Amino acid sequence: MPRTETSPPEPERIHRAARLDDAFLAWRARRAVRRGMKPTAVSYTGYGSTEWVRVLGRVLYTHPERRDEASNRSRGWRSFTSIPVVSSPITVEIAGITHEVIADRGGVIDTVIPAKLPPGWQTIRLSAEGSEPAISDVYIVEPGTRFGVISDVDDTVMVTALPRPLVAAWNTFVLDEHARTPVPGMAVLLDRLSNMHGGCPVIYLSTGAWNVAPTLSRFLSRHLYPAGALLLTDWGPTHDRIFRSGRAHKRENLRRLAAEFPDITWILVGDDGQHDEELYSEFASERPDNVSAVAIRQLSAGEAVLAGGRSKHEQHDAGHTWVYAPDGAGLLSELNKVLPD
């Protein structure tokens, strides 16, 4: 046979903004090391099945004598003064078995590890070399579970009432979680849904940054929202664009959850401020067997103006129930008419 010449694959082209961001992070890391700071693991709530666990967390530089620094820096603007440890090795202990994983270029840990765990809430440990382990809660979905809840955060469980371009900046840099306002009735709605059929997984899917995960977790707990995994994103440039796409983040995680739990039908909860309706309709059309119903919180006239208007998606997918109301009580009332007991 004639010999075929093949060219080596071209190296991946990294966006200039990403190269600048990497250089800035490297400079901050060198300063942190000179100041005696050490890598510390910060754990986030994860989820999984009885065969695997999706481990979520972050690795930050902190002073060894201030073990609570990572938690303190998660408040307000301080969350963005934290220094991520790029590509850091992390030890994950699950059911007495240790696994080695590597954080990404933003210090984020998001990996799936095979593990045998019983259903319900379990704990795992994350630790960086030379630091105290961080305890992480994970919800293990019971085999045979057929129902789950996926909810948006901004303007769905938490009132934002700000121009959309300023939402992330205000919520991240300025507002303390004590001053945030829950959407009336939404905690009761999600709690009732989460307890249907003896309990089910609850996932909070948001375009917020991982930096504010502890803040959002405290807010949800303080206002009695059911516990669940937060699926956030890492702000900043990627290898091919200046800013990450929030819509792509939500779309990818919806598809991932459908693939991970093919037998679960989800209630999708969001609001009518721009994109949730479109994304949920698209997902319901692609994976009709994975959607039970869609509950959309209607923004007030003032909230809609600040959000940049309401969604213009006028035609929903066929074959699924869509309910609308301005608060959780109204949505629960509408869902009670259509969902099985």
End-to-end Cα, the chain, rounded Å: 68
Q: In the chain, what are the domains?
A: 16-22+36-140 (2.60.40.10), 147-338 (3.40.50.1000)
Residue corresponding to tokens 């995960």: 213
Helix, strand, coil share of the chain (percent; to 5): 35, 30, 35
Spatial CB neighbours of 85, under 8 Å, sequence gap ≥ 6:
29, 39, 59, 60, 61, 103, 107, 128
Closest CA to 57 of 216, 254, 210, 194: 210
Angle at 256 between CA 128 and CA 237, to 5 degrees: 60
Task: HSE, CB side, 13 Å, CA atoms: give it for residue 232.
Answer: 27
pLDDT in tens, the chain (341 residues): 433 333 334 445 555 555 666 676 666 767 776 787 888 999 999 999 999 999 999 998 887 765 554 544 445 445 456 788 888 899 999 999 999 999 988 889 999 999 999 999 999 999 998 788 999 999 999 999 999 999 999 889 988 755 455 555 555 555 555 567 899 999 999 999 999 877 899 999 998 888 888 888 989 999 999 999 999 987 654 444 445 567 899 999 999 999 999 999 999 999 988 689 999 999 999 999 999 999 999 987 666 555 554 555 555 666 789 999 999 999 999 999 888 76
Helix (H, G, I), strand (E, B) or coil at 173: helix
Phi-psi region of 198 (alpha: psi -120 to 50; beta: other; left: phi over 0): left
Pairing mode, strands 134-140 and 38-48: parallel
Residue corresponding to tokens 């992390």: 90
Q: Which DSSP string do the residues of 66-95 spell out, in sequence order?
A: -TTHHHHTTSGGGGGT-EE-TT-EEEEEET
Give the tokens for residue 15: 């966006």
